[in-house]
Each structure stands twice: as structure tokens, then as C-alpha cells.
């Protein structure tokens, strides 16, 4: 469980560093001062892209597009239940953005952790295809 929390936290940080409702994110920084610091903006953008490639590729390899859709649907249903029970509303756009970031990071965290979960549940390790 500790490993999953760490993978989820890094996914959340990656998404929140790219965009969040505060002024402290890559998207807003590039809009306001990206031209003044173009080399730094490009470097940070490339580092974010590398992070996304790692997470999305691992997620697609472990749970696939259908698995990503199912995890997203489950988190969406959880939000729906929270709304129906009155635990949350959709009137605050800032809160909605944080909920969306949480949901997307959960999908990526599950995707990156799924091979570990499957190995613990089944006792079988996943192996990459290797060309001989």
C-alpha cells in the first residue's frame, strides 16, 4: 500500500504541476512569463512530458485503455455518490478542478501500480516481451 501511495502522489504532483487552479503551475507560469524564460519553460515542459510518457505508457501497458476507462468510471461513480449523498457539490470550479486532478492521478497511480497488485494477488510476475 505504501508503494501505491507514493506512485499516486507523484502522479498527482505531475498533474498539479502542469495545471491547477492556483497561480503556481506550469500552464499559468508559461502564459505569464514563459516568453521571458523560454529556455527554462521548454526544459520544464520537456521534463513534464517525460513524466507523462512514463505514467501513461506504464498505465496503458498494465491496464490498457479499457482499464483506464473502468478506473475513471469507478472514480466518476464515487464522485456521483458523494454528490447524491450531499458530501460535495459542483458549484465551486476550484474544488471541481482539484477533484478532477485527484481522479486523473488515481487512474495513473492505479495504472503504474497494477503490475505490483497483480503479482501480489496471483503470485505471477509480468514480463516484458523480449525480441530474441
pLDDT tens-digit map of 112-128: 988 777 777 777 765 65
DSSP state of 86: T
- 129 in a structural domain: no
Is 131's pLDDT higher than 80? no
Is 69's pLDDT higher than 70? yes
- 63 in a structural domain: yes
Is 129's pLDDT higher than 60? no
The residue assigned the cell 486532478 is 101
Question: Domain total for the chain?
Answer: 1
C-alpha closest to that of 12 among 49, 42, 55 = 55
Question: What's the pTM?
Answer: 0.84
For 72-96, what is the mean pLDDT? 95
3 state SS of 9: helix
64 sits in the region (left: phi over 0; alpha: psi -120 to 50; else beta) called left
- 11 in a structural domain: yes
**Cα–Cα distance for residue pair 114/130, rounded to 1 Å:** 21
Question: In which domain, by residue range, is 42 found?
Answer: 2-122
Amino acid at each position: 500500500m505504501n508503494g501505491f501511495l507514493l506512485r499516486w502522489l507523484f502522479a498527482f504532483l505531475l498533474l498539479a504541476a502542469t495545471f491547477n487552479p492556483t497561480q503556481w503551475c506550469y500552464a499559468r507560469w508559461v502564459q505569464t512569463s514563459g516568453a521571458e524564460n523560454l529556455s527554462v519553460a521548454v526544459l520544464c515542459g520537456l521534463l513534464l512530458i517525460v513524466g507523462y510518457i512514463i505514467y501513461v505508457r506504464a498505465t496503458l501497458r498494465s491496464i490498457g485503455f479499457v482499464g483506464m476507462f473502468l478506473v475513471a468510471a469507478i472514480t466518476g461513480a464515487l464522485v456521483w455518490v458523494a454528490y447524491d449523498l450531499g458530501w460535495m457539490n459542483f458549484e465551486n470550479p476550484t474544488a471541481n478542478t482539484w477533484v478532477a486532478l485527484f481522479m486523473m492521478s488515481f487512474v495513473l497511480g492505479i495504472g503504474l501500480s497494477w503490475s505490483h497488485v497483480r503479482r501480489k494477488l496471483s503470485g505471477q510476475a509480468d514480463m516484458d516481451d523480449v525480441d530474441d
